[in-house]
Structure formats: C-alpha cells, structure tokens
C-alpha cells in the first residue's frame, strides 16, 4: 500500500489495542490466556465433582484404607504361618519365618498397589477424565 509520499506503509489489519505489538506476541498472549482459561475450567470442574462426592469421601477413604490394610496383612500372615510351620518341620541355618514374612510384605505391597491403581482408573473413568494427570499435576 503506497502512502502519499510513495513509500510503502504497513497495513493496519491488527486486532484493536495491539497496534504497537508484533503479531507473534499477540498470538502468544492469546495462547497463554486460553491455557489459563482451560486450567481454571478444569479446576472448577474438579471442585464441582468433589462437592457432589463430599458425603462419599469419608466412607470411600475408610474402605480404601481397609482394602490396603487387608491386601498387605493377609499375604504377610499366610507367609508367617507357613514360615512357622517350615521352621518347626524343616529347620535350617536361616529363619524361614523371617524370610517368608519379608516375601509376604512384598507380595502384599504389590497387591495393594494393583488394587489402588485399579480403583483410580475406575474413578477417573466414572468422572470422564483422562487417565493421565493434567499439565499441572493436580
């Protein structure tokens, strides 16, 4: 576009209020604003879901606590009983009881991890959330 003196002048097609800023900077600001709006929207949806489930939280927590406790305690107790029986019938230089208690605790912890990850997947599927955490780790 030629001006009155024959010199090329820049076009004024920029959005209102951004005449003095370059276009890439305006796009970057818009992208940041959209990310912020999305993060606020996600936080608001989580709050609404938490308010709906407020009554279930205490019982759900106690149930999960019991599930984790029993999933660790049961294999440990079974291995303890087996270790005591082996120590009584087949004595060795090492203690079967201590070895099997350790193995029972490891099995129990793996079992608890499995059940908790399965519960988490079910909760996120019921809430319609993706399996991964959002970009803020919340």
pLDDT in tens, 117-137: 888 888 777 766 655 554 555
- On whether both 74 and 113 belong to a single domain, the answer is yes
- 22, 114 Cβ separation under 8 angstroms: no
- On whether both 60 and 77 belong to a single domain, the answer is yes
- On whether both 47 and 108 belong to a single domain, the answer is no
- On whether both 27 and 76 belong to a single domain, the answer is no
Of the candidates 58, 55, 44, which has an alpha carbon nearest to the alpha carbon of residue 138?
44
Exposed (0-12), middle (13-18) or buried (19+): which is 44, by Cβ within 10 Å?
exposed
Of the candidates 55, 70, 47, 78, which has an alpha carbon nearest to the alpha carbon of residue 116?
70
Q: Is 59's pLDDT higher than 90?
A: no
- On whether both 30 and 84 belong to a single domain, the answer is no
- On whether both 44 and 87 belong to a single domain, the answer is no
Please tell me the total count of domains within the chain.
2
Any domain includes 13: no
- On whether both 46 and 69 belong to a single domain, the answer is no
Q: Taking the complete model, does pTM exceed 0.75, yes or no?
A: no
Mean pLDDT, range 87-94, rounded to an integer:
91
- On whether both 100 and 40 belong to a single domain, the answer is no
Mean pLDDT, range 63-83, rounded to an integer:
89
* Domain ranges, residue 33: 21-52
Any domain includes 6: no
């Amino acid at each position: 576009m030629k001006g009155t003196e024959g010199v090329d002048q820049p076009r004024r097609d920029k959005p209102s209020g951004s005449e003095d800023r370059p276009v890439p900077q305006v796009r970057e600001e818009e992208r940041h604003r959209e990310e912020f709006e999305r993060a606020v929207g996600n936080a608001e949806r989580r709050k609404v879901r938490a308010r709906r489930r407020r009554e279930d939280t205490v019982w759900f927590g106690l149930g999960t606590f019991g599930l984790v406790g029993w999933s660790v305690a049961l294999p440990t107790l079974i291995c303890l009983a087996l270790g005591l029986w082996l120590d009584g019938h087949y004595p060795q230089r090492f203690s079967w009881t201590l070895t099997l208690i350790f193995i029972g605790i490891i099995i129990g912890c793996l079992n608890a991890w499995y059940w908790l990850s399965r519960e988490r997947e079910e909760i996120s599927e019921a809430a319609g959330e993706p399996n991964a955490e959002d970009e803020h780790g919340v």
